[in-house]
Amino acid sequence: MKIQIIIISVGGNVLKGKIVQNWSRKIHIYSSMMLLLALLFFAFTGLTLNRPHLYVAKSEVVEYVISLPETLFSAENGYRPNRDELVEVLKQHSAIKGIPSELSIYVDIEDGQLLEGEVELDFKSPGYNAVVFVDVLTKQAEVSTTDYGLVAWLNDLHKGRNTGPSWDAFIDFVSVIMILFTITGGILLLPKKKTLLTAMKWTAVGTVVTVLCYLFSF
C-alpha cells in the first residue's frame, strides 16, 4: 500500500514538473488550434446525424447510357470484361466517381456464341452512389447516379463511410490529437489545486449526466 502511494506521489510530482508542464501547455495550445475546424465539423455533423429529420434534402438522380468499346468483351476472355479496364472507360466517358465494387457477371454462351450477358457494379463515395448495368450483347452501359446532397455528404465523412484511406487516416489523426488535447489539459490542472478541485467536480457532473442519459434512453 505504501509502495503504491509512493509511486502515485512520484508520478504526480513528475507531471507537475516544469518540463512536463511546459510541453503539456504547448501541446494543449497547438493541438486545440489544429483541431479547431475538425471539432466544428464533427460537432455540426453530430447534430445532423442525430436529427436527420431536420436536414432532409432531395436526392438528385441522373440516368444516361454509355457505349463501350467492343475490345472489353472478347471471346478470348469469355466476354467477361477486366474490372480495371471497365472502370477506367466508365470514368473517362462520364462524370462517375467513387470507389468501385467488384463485378457481378453473368454470361450465357452456347457453341462459342454469346446468347446473353450482363455485368453489374456500383460506385460509392460520401453522399453519392452510382449503379452501372452493362448489356454485353449491345455493349452499352446504363448508368444511374444519385447525389444525396450536402448534408448526406458531410454525414458520410463524419462516419468515414465510402471514403478512401487518406480520409480514414485523417480521422485516426484527429482522434489521437483529441486524446493528447484531453490528457494535457488534465496535466495542466494538476498544480492548480483549487482549479483542479472544481474541474473534478464538473467531470463528475458530466460523467453522471452521461450515465443517466444512457440509462434513461431505453
pTM equals 0.81
| pLDDT one-digit tens code per residue, 124-138 | 999 999 999 999 999
Kindly report the backbone phi and psi dihedral angles of residue 166, in degrees, each rounded to the nearest multiple of 5, phi listed first. -70, -40
| pLDDT one-digit tens code per residue, 69-96 | 988 988 888 888 999 999 999 999 888 9
